[in-house]
Structure 1
């Protein structure tokens, strides 16, 4: 019978595939975010790791000469390389020499980094030259692309090395411009190992290639015995792992935060899908009741509904993964098309994508479990009698109040623990974030009860403004409190995250501006050697009527006179300071840098939070779309008694606006409180003056508007149904 029940429900799914997509739309959005995060993290990690991993894949063993205290001088180092190369089981060994040298170009001498490369073979670290050909003899060198851009040098150019360490002055010829790892900065020249050793380089490591049929572990032991210190020898894979660890750790630290937001998007999607499943099962009560009448047990119905959830989650997850991959390939292609160089290839980890797909399916099943159990509890006769009744009625309030109270108490305790945490600020913020998620769970538990309060407050305003459609919208929201509460809960989570981020950024900006004001009591600050030189410099500047200068200890404070141009004053001060060897700092530059950093942080933070808001807005639209389908008879009757199409559309839009207003106010209040708590936990509390009241009010208005925009399609669909057709379909 289980197979029969599942077959009936799956047949219904095939007959109405649009319902599957609507039910899983929130899962699709969350999966796109989760899969996109995974693709982004893997691609970024591979890109940054490739920039830091310089040991070639042909190196089976690596020797670290720094671990050999008996190695004395370049001659001994070169001799060690030769001994390793002649060892049994070694195909070839190359010393990697590194150093710095003063090099003159067009008469200007600067410090250059010089490093070695064999130029050919499996131990070479260079790719095909960008221009020219690789050095193949003494007196030749290659330079990096960055160096070529900075100096204007090209193949055929020369670099002069002055006399040093008993070596006469020499002129080296550039034969190639090459691409070097992104971790290498400054002017770089690459030459053969003997040339770098002659320029005063030191032996950094020895790369060893294994002969055929020689195992890495065996060769590590032989080389370790030769050098006399096994700890100085590692496998090539171990060396490459160490080189990539710093970049990988940095990427992981950043993407942990991104993953948290992806998890929140999945949680929001679970709440939305749970609500939509409840609506769908309510619309199919007759079908479920008939299955009960022909012998289906409760457990069989639950399994059948969960099988449908698996199909929904699988379809939605596959769609989300496909969209994320298309977006990834499209973005990288667009970057290449716009002329961006060094664009990485998209790294696709199929096992990880499979994990994302599995999470999408499990999230859908978890979301469907509650509605499935609730639908299976209805006795066959009662279900047949109530088949036409919607998801009407208020849930039991006593249990919800107790649960919400316990969760709220736990949230308060965690918040107090986080604010008073004596450990690291990061751990304190994590504790506050856990408190916020607990508070969100309390909102979900008390959601249907909050709907009553919403109807008694904002609902009256909506009824007064919207008149008949407004009263109907308020009644519709109160008629299905679970559904309305689910919409409000998810939307309030996104709003809460946004408001918390705005409060935190405002506090950081306020604190940074206070610090700048303390460090820069004037427009321009000049650091002198001592108090007497500062006083003399201030007196010298004061002769210029365009500025006002005064000294405080060893610092000169300069402000432009009334009506004077700050840029001209700054140029005058910098010119005078350069003559005396003093350092100039400008408050405007510090403020500009702060604004840029905050702008980047805001864009990243709001972009991440926006995914959760997007899931919530999708939930509003999907819930209203399914609700409109469920209320065909009700809408038809309203049209019969005189409600116009525009009135129906207004009713649906005002219902969305009512949910949006409740979620916006609730989310802003909770989010602002937790934003302030996070700021306090970080020790950045700068008082109520830093709370961005106007931004929070704008957020409330924007959320209400967006919620009503999400209702446009359902509202238009509801308004298009004629009264007669609606009554026939009921």
Structure 2
């Protein structure tokens, strides 16, 4: 109880210090909580989207791949006559050319009964369920296409009327639900995928009717689809976990450095506790209890922020029609985030607590107020760095070795290698700061502010290194993403150029008479068509616009002949890359935010620790502007070193990831990387504005007298 009371009084006596320690924990916990909730709700939404089997289906027939549409229709008709069968519906799917309002696009069409338990039509905002010859389209599809209830369009040569607009799973693609009879009328562009059966059918009897087709129970089919969706999300969740872990690691580095500085300022207080009878263990436990308390409070704040952010994002997704299920708050997961915050705070405080317990009262009463000025244990740090670097190299080599057979494992090993490199940089960070200060010393000969910065960097290298390492992590991740996206985009463009040497292609194995198709296309003066290898290559005539080429090709071809357009493939690829880039940028943004918080917190503590020193400098003639420039230069020094190392390491790991994924990569985007480095330095200086202002307000007489 004595230990707990001492820790509580320490927090209550210095609430500002508790806030400085806890702010990084708040940011990291908020990120972890929001990521967890978004991932859980996204999984629910994606499973629902990937679940093509209606909840009412009691049996599912999966047609044999070689069955024609007529044979599938015959199986469905026989199933309707079986005892115990209530309803039967065939699901047809197809990407079909749609002509609407003078433009031609590709829509994904799905057959639907229109009404009843097997219908997948949600709430309609306009119109009614479709009859034969009618469709229901999604709200986003209606907005993009400009379609409204009553409009007529042509899909695969078949006229259809918009009967309703409402809730349909779209995910950025134009879609429409049509009746089964219309899917059959459209022809080969619509493929029969499943036959749904409701009631109490005998699966053995149904199997006899289905012949070579597969028959499974409805529950079994839905469970199989859920597993399939979940398996595809393993990589996404794995990447999310890595980013959450790195953000938490950044917070641990910041909190550890903060505790070290604060306990150095409280060395005399802790020594007095030892003098009045407190044991080493009690001093250590007091520090750890204080850390746990700050971690719990900061974790609670972070959980609240993360919960609110996730709820807002899910509500926005629901408004866009991407999510139907209610928001899942996952109380157990939030409690786990809270426990993680407290545990990370305790782990971060362990080195400082151990140091506080080891120091004798006499030594503590007389030592310097900056723990960062103590000698560095070069041997231990060097051994740690060498060991981490060796394991990092081994992990990178192993990732390249396993990449041909398991790309996900290769990327995981590359991420492990990068984490180990970060650990090595943490170990040697103080030495990097000292060496950098020595190299930059000639540049500071004419500036008092720069000389003060270099002196502080050499004397308190641990403090500056804490800022540098978290900045290195954020910049490294951003640089890796920049290089990876640039390489993936270049690889995708090269792939499209290889596979689409012309504006469009038609695979010859998908048409009955390639020569006749070429003759019909070539008869149009807007089209140039020729046969090459296994494809019919299509280009516009000189001076013909892409839109005119599309219209001409569709007018000359029979319904059902697929045409693959290079522009469509390129647009889809760019959209996929953009989505990945935005998700990665959001995750990295949080890591950089934690790093900026670390810069601000560490500099604020640095100013508080050096209050007497700043006052003496002011008394000796250093101006307010000079003290501000000194703090800004310290932030700029840490940011420059962190940005330089981060860009170099991130660029290397970005190229490594591209190699593991089998992409050429090419030349890194040096311009974007230079902008990144300069931006981080500028943001770090902006993060130092509050500490700069505090430093400039120190009065010479007040500061000299302060303890």
**TM-score, normalised on structure 1?**
0.77
CA contact (8 A) 1:538 1:549 kept: yes
For 1:633 and 1:355, how far apart are their aligned partners in 2?
Answer: 43
The SS at the match of 2:586 is helix
* Worse overlay, 716-725 or 248-257: 248-257
Aligned to 1:268: 250
Aligned to 2:103: none
Gapped regions of structure 1 (runs ≥ 5):
86-92, 160-171, 193-200, 210-221, 561-565
CA contact (8 A) 2:53 2:218 kept: no
The SS at the match of 1:457 is helix
Gapped regions of structure 2 (runs ≥ 5):
65-71, 101-106, 155-159, 182-191, 209-213
Q: Could you tell me which of 192, 195, 207 is aligned with 1:204? A: 195
Structure 1 307/53 Cα, relative in aligned 2: closer, same or farther at 3 Å? Answer: same
Q: Could you tell me which of 237, 244, 250 is aligned with 2:226? A: 244
Q: Could you tell me which of 364, 367, 373 is aligned with 1:383? A: 364
CA contact (8 A) 1:458 1:662 kept: no
1:84-233 equivalent positions in 2, closer than 5 A: 84=84, 114-116=111-113, 119=116, 130=125, 144-146=136-138, 179=167, 187-189=176-178, 204-207=195-198
Structure 1 725/406 Cα, relative in aligned 2: closer, same or farther at 3 Å? Answer: same
For 2:314 and 2:52, how far apart are their aligned partners in 1?
Answer: 25
For 2:516 and 2:132, how far apart are their aligned partners in 1?
Answer: 50
Aligned to 1:440: 422
CA contact (8 A) 2:295 2:341 kept: yes
Structure 1 676/483 Cα, relative in aligned 2: closer, same or farther at 3 Å? Answer: same
1:559-574 equivalent positions in 2, closer than 5 A: 568=544, 570=546
Q: Could you tell me which of 464, 467, 470 is aligned with 2:450? A: 470
Aligned to 1:359: 340
Q: Could you tell me which of 603, 612, 620 is aligned with 1:624? A: 603
For 1:225 and 1:559, how far apart are their aligned partners in 2?
Answer: 56
For 1:43 and 1:490, how far apart are their aligned partners in 2?
Answer: 30
Aligned to 1:405: 386
Structure 1 520/223 Cα, relative in aligned 2: closer, same or farther at 3 Å? Answer: closer
For 2:675 and 2:164, how far apart are their aligned partners in 1?
Answer: 58
* Worse overlay, 307-316 or 671-680: 671-680
**What is the Cα deviation at residue 672 of structure 1?**
1.6
**What is the Cα deviation at residue 499 of structure 1?**
1.5
Is 1:5 the equivalent of 2:3?
Answer: yes
The SS at the match of 2:195 is strand
Aligned to 2:351: 370
**What is the Cα deviation at residue 469 of structure 1?**
0.8
The SS at the match of 1:446 is helix
The SS at the match of 1:144 is strand
For 1:173 and 1:409, how far apart are their aligned partners in 2?
Answer: 67
Q: Could you tell me which of 465, 473, 476 is aligned with 1:496? A: 476
Structure 1 346/74 Cα, relative in aligned 2: closer, same or farther at 3 Å? Answer: closer
Deviations 1:332-366 (A, max 9, x none): 55678xx7456554321111111111111111111
Is 1:291 the equivalent of 2:291?
Answer: no
Deviations 1:633-685 (A, max 9, x none): 11111111111111111111101111111111111112222222222223323
Aligned to 1:512: 492
CA contact (8 A) 1:46 1:347 kept: no
CA contact (8 A) 2:500 2:566 kept: yes
Deviations 1:286-338 (A, max 9, x none): 111111111111122111111111111111111111112222333455678xx
Aligned to 1:327: 309
Is 1:612 the equivalent of 2:629?
Answer: no
For 1:133 and 1:534, how far apart are their aligned partners in 2?
Answer: 40
CA contact (8 A) 1:140 1:175 kept: no
Aligned to 2:668: 691
The SS at the match of 1:673 is helix
For 1:635 and 1:111, how far apart are their aligned partners in 2?
Answer: 69
Q: Could you tell me which of 420, 431, 436 is aligned with 2:413? A: 431
Is 1:658 the equivalent of 2:650?
Answer: no
**What is the Cα deviation at residue 693 of structure 1?**
1.8
The SS at the match of 1:295 is coil
* Worse overlay, 497-506 or 596-605: 596-605
1:532-547 equivalent positions in 2, closer than 5 A: none
Is 1:62 the equivalent of 2:35?
Answer: no
CA contact (8 A) 1:459 1:658 kept: no
For 1:379 and 1:125, how far apart are their aligned partners in 2?
Answer: 74
For 2:215 and 2:433, how far apart are their aligned partners in 1?
Answer: 69
Larger radius of gyration between Structure 1 and Structure 2: 1
For 1:583 and 1:128, how far apart are their aligned partners in 2?
Answer: 33
Structure 1 140/703 Cα, relative in aligned 2: closer, same or farther at 3 Å? Answer: closer
For 1:595 and 1:395, how far apart are their aligned partners in 2?
Answer: 50
Deviations 1:526-575 (A, max 9, x none): 7797999999999999x99xx99999788779699xxxxx8645566667
Is 1:282 the equivalent of 2:264?
Answer: yes
Q: Could you tell me which of 76, 79, 85 is aligned with 1:77? A: 79
For 2:109 and 2:663, how far apart are their aligned partners in 1?
Answer: 43
* Worse overlay, 590-599 or 409-418: 590-599
For 1:133 and 1:357, how far apart are their aligned partners in 2?
Answer: 49
For 1:578 and 1:62, how far apart are their aligned partners in 2?
Answer: 41
CA contact (8 A) 1:98 1:116 kept: no
For 1:595 and 1:233, how far apart are their aligned partners in 2?
Answer: 38
For 2:50 and 2:177, how far apart are their aligned partners in 1?
Answer: 16
**What is the Cα deviation at residue 401 of structure 1?**
1.5
For 1:315 and 1:584, how far apart are their aligned partners in 2?
Answer: 60
For 1:206 and 1:593, how far apart are their aligned partners in 2?
Answer: 35
Structure 1 78/34 Cα, relative in aligned 2: closer, same or farther at 3 Å? Answer: same
For 2:369 and 2:301, how far apart are their aligned partners in 1?
Answer: 33
How well do the aligned residues superpose, as a CA RMSD in angstroms?
Answer: 5.0
The SS at the match of 2:373 is coil
